[in-house]
Structure 1
Amino acid sequence: MTNAERTALMIALPKGRLADQTLDLFAAAGLPLPAADNGRKLILSSAAGDVHYVMAKPTDVPTFVEYGAADLGVCGLDTLRESRRHVYEPLLLPFGYCRLALATPADRPDTPLRYASQPRVATKYPNLTADFFRARGVNAEIITLNGSVELAPLVGLADLIVDLVETGSTLKANGLVETRTIMQIQAVLIANRAAYHLKRAAMEQVLSRLRAHLAQKERQRA
């Protein structure tokens, strides 16, 4: 990393739809955007070089921010809570809405959370899932998957699943029904704790522009 990159404001974005939505929001708020000719680089610079965007895997964004590789970052609340990373959360963002939910096969939707033996639960969120069952006194066996969690009950791998739900169409297509909402999800802007003080002026400029833009949008909807 060059000296210019160290002094510039570093913002970690999750590759994919959240990055696109974040950059749309930043553009609407009048914040610097990556120059158009960055090609396939993973660190994208603004035209003035005062802001650099680190394009990261979504689950890595909280790690980049906690360890100071990025000053700010954008991720989903699910990713942040699952990561257990210690960062500031100065602003919720108005996109990325969904929910983390418990689902079960549709032919046994009333299966209680308490079982005579351990329920097997497949999920991409082992920490949040363990917290949910532990709080209810259920000794669940958590099976961590990285792919299509909906497959687990269909092939006998798990009794239940915990996964993100937006419309519920994927659950329905695979014979599953949502039985509990564990948490509501949306995007959140996060900040490195040390950088929040060391680069306070630059961060506050970003935050104030975003807050002003979001407040204006809220007034227009009222």
Structure 2
Amino acid sequence: MLRIAVQSKGRLYDETMLLLAEAGIKLNRGKRILLLSAKGFPVELLFLRDDDIPQSVANGVADVGIVGENEYVEKGAEAKVVKRLGFSKCRLALAIPKNEVYHGVEWFEGKTIATSYPEILKDYLKKKGVNAGLHVISGSVEIAPGIGLADAIFDIVSSGSTLISNRLKEVEVVLNCEALLIANKALTEEKQAILDELLFRFEAIQTAEGKKYVLLNAPKNKLDEIIEILPGMKSPTITPLADEEWVSVQSVIAESHFWEIIGRLKALGAQGILVIPIEKMII
């Protein structure tokens, strides 16, 4: 049984549960909300505060964990990063009052900065040669300048709307963050095998992101040009049709270039274009 530590609530919780569901991890819901086992797959979920996850994985209370990079770096726990998961993206940034004139990081010299991430901030300021005071608080960091607790803040920024509502502006990005899959450094062979299977499922999901499966009928005399547009994962699948002058073509395209590619295919005479979403992709 592989024990996975996950955040007990919040945006990271929601996206983690979605990933696990897509990977076929179905939970046995019950009265115990701290620890839940899965159906049909040898894992159980341990629900913790996000800042407790790195140490819990490092000391073996959990075997692996899904945690924000901000908490992983701040805690400095001896757990290894197994995979960057690509969701819950944000950044740790310095922000100052909107009406302040900012010319560089030297602005923070002698100032007081409110933060929930003192270790990351100390390391950054040391590298920049800036001496500043730190006011460590948890939660609602953004209100500190407005009530006179600090001159600036160092906190998580996603959309930036919270900064705007508190009349602050972002001036320095210190760390770009995303969800990480971390693991204890001393997993047994049995637990490593379960983790490898879980990674296989995660990678199949991630590979499919932003991809579309395309089927179309194409004139044979334009096939070479169409193949150049639709390379597929290795090469498109070509199937003969009853009409010897036409073939069926199947391939995968990136959604970001979808309309551009479809337009070029139509210009080359492609017909009956069918586009299908992809849930998983194994390569």
Describe the SS at the equivalent of 1:27.
helix
Deviation at 1:198, TM superposition (A): 5.7
Q: Indicate if the aligned counterparts of 1:78 and 1:100 stay in contact, CA closer than 8 A.
A: yes
Query: Taking structure 1 as the reference length, what is the TM-score of the superposition?
Result: 0.89
Residues paired across the two proteins, number: 213
The answer to whether residue 14 in structure 2 is matched with residue 20 in structure 1 is yes
> 2:79 pairs with 64, 70, 87, which one?
87
Partner of 1:138: 130
Deviation at 1:40, TM superposition (A): 4.1
Q: Indicate if the aligned counterparts of 1:98 and 1:165 stay in contact, CA closer than 8 A.
A: yes
Q: Indicate if the aligned counterparts of 2:15 and 2:87 stay in contact, CA closer than 8 A.
A: yes
Describe the SS at the equivalent of 2:176.
strand
Give 5+ residue unaligned stretches, structure 2. 213-252, 255-283
The answer to whether residue 120 in structure 2 is matched with residue 128 in structure 1 is yes
Partner of 2:242: none
Partner of 1:3: none
1:157-191 per-position Cα deviation (integer Å, ceiling 9, x unaligned) = 21111011111111111110000111111111111
Q: Indicate if the aligned counterparts of 1:94 and 1:187 stay in contact, CA closer than 8 A.
A: yes
1:100-131 per-position Cα deviation (integer Å, ceiling 9, x unaligned) = 11000011041643269622110010001111
Q: State the one-letter code of the partner of 2:22.
A: A
Partner of 1:4: none
Separation (CA, whole Å) in 1 of partners of 2:183 and 2:157:
27
Separation (CA, whole Å) in 2 of partners of 1:79 and 1:99:
12
1:49–1:214 CA distance, 2 compared to 1 (3 A) = closer
Separation (CA, whole Å) in 1 of partners of 2:108 and 2:154:
20
Quick check: 183-192 or 21-30, which moved more?
Answer: 21-30
Describe the SS at the equivalent of 2:150.
coil
Q: Which structure has more RCO (C-alpha within 8 Å, separation ≥ 6)?
A: 1
The answer to whether residue 7 in structure 2 is matched with residue 9 in structure 1 is no
1:83–1:116 CA distance, 2 compared to 1 (3 A) = closer
- What are the residue-to-residue correspondences of 1:56-67 with 2, within 5 Å? 56-67=48-59
Deviation at 1:13, TM superposition (A): 0.3
Partner of 1:50: 42
- What are the residue-to-residue correspondences of 1:1-222 with 2, within 5 Å? 8-16=1-9, 17-30=11-24, 32-36=25-29, 38-48=30-40, 50-110=42-102, 112-114=104-106, 118-195=110-187, 199-220=191-212, 222=254
1:138–1:12 CA distance, 2 compared to 1 (3 A) = same
Deviation at 1:46, TM superposition (A): 1.3
Describe the SS at the equivalent of 1:150.
helix
Higher strand share: 2
Describe the SS at the equivalent of 1:12.
strand
Separation (CA, whole Å) in 2 of partners of 1:51 and 1:134:
42
Give 5+ residue unaligned stretches, structure 1. 1-7
Describe the SS at the equivalent of 1:153.
coil
Q: State the one-letter code of the partner of 2:93.
A: A
Separation (CA, whole Å) in 2 of partners of 1:176 and 1:196:
48
Quick check: 190-199 or 173-182, which moved more?
Answer: 190-199
Separation (CA, whole Å) in 2 of partners of 1:187 and 1:95:
6
Deviation at 1:149, TM superposition (A): 0.8
Separation (CA, whole Å) in 1 of partners of 2:35 and 2:98:
45
Structure of greater Rg: 2
Q: Indicate if the aligned counterparts of 1:71 and 1:196 stay in contact, CA closer than 8 A.
A: no
Q: State the one-letter code of the partner of 2:21.
A: A
Q: Indicate if the aligned counterparts of 1:102 and 1:178 stay in contact, CA closer than 8 A.
A: yes
